[in-house]
Amino acid sequence: MAKIVHFLYTYLFYLNARQSLASNVSISSTMSIDVLPDGCQNLLQSFANETARFTLCVVTNARPITVCEKCVNEFNQVFKRYEEIQKLHNNDSEVDCRAVLTNIDRLQVVYASYNYVLDMWEKASCKLCLNGTVFNDKTRGVMIRGDNLDKCISKHINNTKLSNTSLCADCKQYYVNLTNYYNKHKNDNTFCMDVVDLINNTQSDWSLKWKCHESNYESEWVLLVISFIVLLLPILFYFINWLISQKRSNVLLSQNRWHQRFTSNAASTSGYVVIS
């Protein structure tokens, strides 16, 4: 019996000591969070600076969209700093810097900021256009053709003697070359928002700003003929219906006259007396 009581006291003492130790460690960790180790604090500041640079780059290159071309270095720096945070652990400190910076607070500012950068990069589909930090071959092909068109247009803008009509005629080959190249490869899902925005702006300026859009008269005539036929169908329907109704009316009228004549003849013959 005494051994059992001694065992119970020993076990209770062990549980109490363990709980006290856990509380002390928790308090110590909480107190250490307020003052981060130098390496942890420096990396946090560096991550904040790189995230701010990326955000500034994205905003300043929003119109026209050149995010993938102009902000690839800023994105790589944010990615690099976050990877360093994930690998960081200061052995000389009781504080796990990685856990403190990414998981300790409910806002999870570092994690949320990193996800914002990734989400923006994914929305721009920059991976489709880049080979490392430079454009891939298909994207470079679009950009070269776009530059050729811009040079042709700039030549006409700077020369006041040249009219918009000559601009459309002289630069048409560059415009057609650009759009044909894009249409050929766009179904391969290989273009980022830099390219898509370039094509959209080019087509809009070509049609609205420079008035170079050529109407397809053949397709317009086909559309007009189809529209005329569609509009004519109800008229034909009612006209044919009217003819049929008129024909039926004439038939009924002739039948009524024949019936009246037959009944009148029958009535007149009924008045005669047959003599045998």
pLDDT of 24 above 50: no
Q: Looking at per-residue confidence, does 189 or 103 come out higher?
A: 189
192, amino acid identity: C
- Helix (H) and strand (E) counts for the chain? 10, 2
CB 100 within 8 A of CB 36: yes
Q: Looking at per-residue confidence, does 22 or 232 come out higher?
A: 232
Domain boundaries, the chain: 38-124, 135-209
Q: Cα–Cα distance between 140 and 135 in angstroms, integer?
A: 6
Residues 6+ away with beta carbon under 8 Å from 81: 43, 46, 47, 50
Q: Cα–Cα distance between 135 and 127 in angstroms, integer?
A: 10
Q: Cα–Cα distance between 22 and 26 in angstroms, integer?
A: 6
Which residue do the tokens 């004519």 mark? Answer: 232
Summary mean pLDDT of the chain: 78
Residues 6+ away with beta carbon under 8 Å from 211: 164, 168
Output helix, strand, coil percentages for the chain, rounded to the nearest 5: 80, 0, 20
pLDDT digits (tens, 9 = 90+) for 156-173: 888 766 666 688 999 999
Instruction: For the chain, give the percent of residues with pLDDT over 70.
Output: 66
Residues 6+ away with beta carbon under 8 Å from 14: none
Q: What is the mean pLDDT of residues 197-225?
A: 83
Residues 6+ away with beta carbon under 8 Å from 219: none
Banded pLDDT at 201 (limits 50, 70, 90): very high
CA within 13 Å, CB half, 81: 28
pLDDT of 15 above 60: no
Could you tell me the two tokens for 120? 């923006």
Residues pairing with 163 in the sheet: none
pLDDT of 16 above 70: no
Banded pLDDT at 275 (limits 50, 70, 90): very low
CB 76 within 8 A of CB 54: no
Kindly tell me the burial class for residue 235, based on how many C-beta atoms sit within 10 Å of its own C-beta (0-12, 13-18, 19 or more): exposed
Residues 6+ away with beta carbon under 8 Å from 206: 175, 212, 213
pLDDT recorded at residue 3: 41
pLDDT recorded at residue 93: 52
Residues 6+ away with beta carbon under 8 Å from 43: 81, 84, 85, 88, 97, 101
pLDDT of 135 above 80: yes
113, amino acid identity: S
pLDDT digits (tens, 9 = 90+) for 109-120: 899 999 999 999
Q: What is the mean pLDDT of residues 75-103?
A: 77
pLDDT recorded at residue 80: 94
276, amino acid identity: S
pLDDT recorded at residue 35: 56
Which residue do the tokens 């030549």 mark? Answer: 155
